[in-house]
Structure 1
Amino acid sequence: MEAVIFLVLYIPMASTMLKSAMDKPQAFSSFILFACLFSSTSALSDAEVSYIARRQLSALPEDGQLNLDIDKQVGINATFENQRLKRAYVALQALKRAVYSDPFNITGNWVGPHVCGYTRVFCAPALDDPNLNVVAGIDLNHDDIAGYLPVELGLLNDLALFHINSNRFCGIIPQALSKIVLMHEFDISNNRFVGPFPDVFLRWPAVKYIDIRFNDFEGEIPPEIFEKDIDALFLNDNRFTSTIPETIGKSVASIVTFANNKFKGCIPHSIGNMSNVNQLIFINNELSGCLPGEVGMLRNLTIFDVSMNSLTGTVPESFGGLESADVLDISHNKLSGVIPESVCKLTSLSILSFSHNYFSGEGSGCLRRDIEVEDGGNCLGSRPNQKSSEECEAEVKRAVDCSKDKCSKGSSTSKPPPAKEEEVILPPNMGSRYSSPPPPMFPGY
C-alpha cells in the first residue's frame, strides 16, 4: 500500500528529467561536525555524537565531489536490472555503513542487488523512461537510527522523497546532495544536524516541502529560499539568528514557521504579498518594532502567531481583514492601545490571545463566548489578572510612534521604544501549540 501511495506522489511530477545541478567544492570543517556535541537532544551521548561526527569527517572527500566509478564501488559479483539501481545500491550501502545504531534492524535486509526489496526503500518507474525501475523514495521516519548522511546519497538521481524525521542522525548535510535534482519532499526534522542553512536546497528545482525543525542549524537564512516554489518550509526550533529577508513577500508557501529561534529585527512589510499563506508562526524569537499593517491583506491566513517577541505599538485596524483567521496570538509582547473591534468580530476565530502586553482597551466583541479569549496581564482595568496601575502608567510615558518606527511605513500610530528592552518571561510549555509535526502533505507519509 505504501508503495502505491508513493507512486501518487512520484508520477505526477515533471515528465522530463531536469538538468543536473552543479556540485560546488566545499572544505568541510571538523568544527561544524563537533558542534553536534552542543545539541540539546539527549538520545545520544556526547561521546557517541563525537564518534559519528569523526566518521562523517573521515568519509567526506576533500573536494566534496562524488566518485562516479560505480563498478569499482559495488564490490560484488551481481547483476542489476539497470545502471540506476546499481548506483542506488552504492548509495544505500554507504548509508548503511554510516549507521551507528539501528535498534529495530531496519537496514538488516539491505543486502544484495535487489534494492527495491530493501525495507523503507520505494521504487517506481523513472520519469524519463517508464520502462526503468528506480529508487524514488526513502522513508526512515521514527526508526531511532543513529548515523550520518554520506556523500554517496548524491547518486540517487531519481529520489523524490527523503524522510528521516525523529531519528538520531548527526553531522552536516553534504553538498553532494545537490545532485538529487528531483527532490520533492525532504524531511530531516528532529535529529542532530548542525551547520549553516543547507544551501543544497537552493539547487533543487523540484522541491516543495522542506522540514528541518528541531535540529541545530544556525546563522542566516538565504533570501533566495523564499523565491523558490516551495509549499511548506519548517525552520522552527533551530539556532537561526538572522533578520527575516524582505524576499519573504515572494514566497508562495502555504506554511512557514520561524518559531523558537533567534530571528531579530522587523517583520517585513512585504509579508502582505504572501497570498497563498495560511500559517505564519513567529513565536519565541527576538523580533521588534511595530506590527506591519500589511498582515491584514492575508485573506487566507488561518494561524498568525507572533507571541513571545518584543513587538511594540498598536494592533493595526487592517488586521480586521484576516477573514480566515482561526488562531491570532500576539501575546507576550509590548503592544499597547486598544484591540480593534474589527479584530474581535472576526467570525472565523477560535482563539484570540493578546495577554501579557499593555493594552488599555478591547472591542466589545472580544467578550464573546464562542471563542477562547486570553487577555490577562494587560492594563484592562475591568478585567481580572491585569498589570498594576504603576506598570501601566510607566508604559504610557514611553510612547512609540509607529509612523516613525524603523519597521513602519507610517501607516499607524502608537508609542517610543523603551530606552531599555524588558525581558519577555516565557510561560511553561511555550510553543506547544505548534511543536508536533503537522499532517504530512501526502497520505501515508
Structure 2
Amino acid sequence: MDTFHGSYVHVRKSKLAYNNLDGEIPRNLTGLQSLGYLDLQSNKLTGSIPDSISYCKNLTAIILRLNNLGGNITQSLGSLSKLQILDLYSNSLSGHIPVELGNLSSLHTLYLDDNDLEGNLPKELGYLIKLKKLYLSSNKFNGSIPETYAQLVNMEEFVVGGNNLSGKIPNYFGNWVNLTKLILIGNNFKGNLTAETFSLPQLKLL
C-alpha cells in the first residue's frame, strides 16, 4: 500500500476488505481528516498500526481484523473521541492494552481477541460505559478482572477465555442485565457465580 495523497482528503469511507492487500498501512494519514470508516479486514497487511491514525479525528470504526499486523497497539488511538468500533481481532499484536483506550467514550465494540497481548487488564476500560461487546480471549492476560468493570452495565458480550486471568469471579456480572454471552473458559478463576448471574434474563451462552 502506498501513501494516501492529498487528492484523498475528502474520502469518508475506505472499504478495502477481503482482498490480497499486503505491505504496511501507510505511515502518513494526515490527509484523511474526513475519514469516518476504515475497513481493511481479511487482507495480508503487516507492520504496526501507525501513530498517524490519530489525525483521522472523524473515525467511528476501525476494522483491521484478520491480518498480520504486529507491534504494540498505538496509544494514539485513545484520541479518537468519535470511535465506536475498534476491531483488531486475529493479528499478531503484542504488549499491553494502552490505558489511553479508556478515553474512547463513544466506544461500544472492542475486539482484541486472538493476538499476543499480555499484562493486566487496564482498569481504564471500565470507564467505557457505552461498551456492549468486549472480546479479549486467546491472549496472555493475567491478574484479575478490575472492579471498575462493574460500571459496564450495558455489556452484552464479555469474552475473556483462553488467558491466564485469576482471582474471584466478579459478583457484578449479575448486574449486567443485557448480558447475552459470558465466556470465562481457560483461566484460573476461583469462587462461585452468583445466582443473579445464572438468572440474567438475556443470557444465552455461559
Residue 4 of structure 2 contacts residue 31 of structure 2 at CA under 8 Å; is this kept in 1? no
Q: Tell me by how many angstroms 1:367 deviates.
A: 4.5
Residue 381 of structure 1 is matched in structure 2 by 190
Q: Tell me by how many angstroms 1:226 deviates.
A: 6.0
* Matched residues, number: 188
Partners of 1:383 and 1:285 lie apart in 2 by 33
**Which of 98, 101, 112 is 1:306 aligned to?**
112
Residue 29 of structure 2 contacts residue 55 of structure 2 at CA under 8 Å; is this kept in 1? no
Amino acid at match of 2:9: P
What are the equivalent positions in structure 2 for 1:298-377 lying under 5 Å apart? Answer: 298-361=104-167, 362-368=169-175, 370=177, 371=179, 372-377=181-186
**Which of 262, 283, 289 is 2:68 aligned to?**
262
Partners of 1:347 and 1:341 lie apart in 2 by 13
Q: Tell me by how many angstroms 1:357 deviates.
A: 0.5
Residue 15 of structure 2 is matched in structure 1 by 211
Partners of 1:383 and 1:358 lie apart in 2 by 18
Residue 227 of structure 1 contacts residue 247 of structure 1 at CA under 8 Å; is this kept in 2? no
Amino acid at match of 1:278: Q
Alignment partner of 1:282 is 2:94: no
Amino acid at match of 1:222: P
Answer 1 or 2: higher relative contact order, Cα 8 Å, separation at least 6.
2
CA offset digits 1:117-146 (Å, max 9, x no partner): xxxxxxxxxxxxxxxxxxxxxxxxxxxxxx
- Give secondary structure in 2 for the equivalent of 1:272: helix
Partners of 2:30 and 2:41 lie apart in 1 by 15
Gaps of 5+ in 1: 1-196, 385-445
TM value normalised by structure 1? 0.40
Q: Structure 1 residues 198, 350: CA separation in 2 closer, same or farther (over 3 Å shift)?
A: same
Residue 392 of structure 1 is matched in structure 2 by none
Q: Structure 1 residues 340, 260: CA separation in 2 closer, same or farther (over 3 Å shift)?
A: same
Amino acid at match of 1:319: L
User: Percent of pairs identical after alignment?
Assistant: 26
TM value normalised by structure 2? 0.85
Residue 202 of structure 1 contacts residue 224 of structure 1 at CA under 8 Å; is this kept in 2? no
Q: Tell me by how many angstroms 1:222 deviates.
A: 0.7
- Give secondary structure in 1 for the equivalent of 2:154: coil
Amino acid at match of 1:373: L
- Give secondary structure in 2 for the equivalent of 1:224: coil
- Give secondary structure in 1 for the equivalent of 2:158: strand
Q: Which moved more, 1:198-207 or 1:330-339?
A: 198-207
Partners of 1:383 and 1:363 lie apart in 2 by 9
Q: Tell me by how many angstroms 1:246 deviates.
A: 1.0
Partners of 2:171 and 2:130 lie apart in 1 by 20
Q: Tell me by how many angstroms 1:248 deviates.
A: 2.1
Residue 54 of structure 2 is matched in structure 1 by 249
Residue 153 of structure 2 contacts residue 176 of structure 2 at CA under 8 Å; is this kept in 1? no
Partners of 1:383 and 1:243 lie apart in 2 by 40
What are the equivalent positions in structure 2 for 1:43-442 lying under 5 Å apart? Answer: 197=1, 199=3, 203-225=7-29, 227-228=31-32, 229-252=34-57, 253-361=59-167, 362-368=169-175, 370=177, 371=179, 372-382=181-191
Residue 7 of structure 1 is matched in structure 2 by none
Partners of 2:8 and 2:142 lie apart in 1 by 44
1 or 2, which has the higher helix percentage? 1
C-alpha RMSD of matched pairs (Å): 1.9
- Give secondary structure in 1 for the equivalent of 2:149: helix
Partners of 1:220 and 1:210 lie apart in 2 by 16
Q: Tell me by how many angstroms 1:270 deviates.
A: 1.3
Q: Tell me by how many angstroms 1:353 deviates.
A: 0.9
CA offset digits 1:170-206 (Å, max 9, x no partner): xxxxxxxxxxxxxxxxxxxxxxxxxxx2546653232
Residue 376 of structure 1 contacts residue 383 of structure 1 at CA under 8 Å; is this kept in 2? no
Amino acid at match of 1:206: H
Q: Structure 1 residues 200, 313: CA separation in 2 closer, same or farther (over 3 Å shift)?
A: closer
CA offset digits 1:76-118 (Å, max 9, x no partner): xxxxxxxxxxxxxxxxxxxxxxxxxxxxxxxxxxxxxxxxxxx
Amino acid at match of 2:160: F
Partners of 2:129 and 2:75 lie apart in 1 by 19
